[in-house]
Amino acid sequence: MDSELAWYSVTTFSGQELKVKQLLEAMIVREQAQDLFGRIEIPHVNEEHITTKRGKRVVKIERRNLMPSYVFIQMVLNDRTRHLVQSIQGVTKFVSIGNKIKPIPDDEMISILPRDNEEIGLLPIEAPPVKEGDQIRIKEGPFNDYTGVVEEILKERGKLKAMVVIFGRSIPVELNFSEVEVL
């Protein structure tokens, strides 16, 4: 079997994508299979909804899946990993072509994954450009030009969590390292 990481897709019960991702991540750690799995992605956008309640503006960030019922997994496909993934509650099946599970070419994944993930298949290994407590400015995306404070570094995912003040309220936002600059 090929021991290279490749992208595969599984279908899930509707609305179970995030739960499947969390269960997969927990299973990978429990089974000590980190060397057989890479990223797990659910293509989505965060939509900002602004409403007024009792005269105050309320900003609600809502996650909307771009491809409902699909989870994309970067993995080495073999009997063990296939069985582990199929044993996850909520996974219905691998996406296959003519009864064969086929990898999704990297060039097709580029259009599926978030735009700022420029290097498909590579996990960040460098030290993050920021640290917890840093003041940052967001330089791209829906929160462009907002500032915030880094709360948590998610190095293995190339992301950080920051508290961003939007309309006077502190809201947690997950961002890629490439989307921010330290002030």
Tell me the CA distances in angstroms from 106 to 82, 127, 157, one per residue in order.
20, 25, 18
**pLDDT at 90 exceeding the cut of 80:** yes
**pLDDT at 119 exceeding the cut of 50:** no
List the chain domain ranges.
1-114, 130-183
CATH class of 130-183: mainly beta
User: How confident is residue 156, by pLDDT bands cut at 50, 70 and 90?
Assistant: low
Which tokens hold the place of 15?
A: 């609305």
In terms of CATH architecture, what is 1-114?
2-Layer Sandwich (3.30)
Tell me the CA distances in angstroms from 147 to 115, 129, 162, one per residue in order.
21, 16, 9
**pLDDT tens-digit map of 65-83:** 778 889 999 999 999 999 9
Instruction: Please compute the mean of the pLDDT values over residues 103-121 and round it to a whole number.
Output: 65
Instruction: Please compute the mean of the pLDDT values over residues 15-38 and round it to a whole number.
Output: 93
Residue for token pair 């290279």: 4
**pLDDT at 120 exceeding the cut of 50:** no
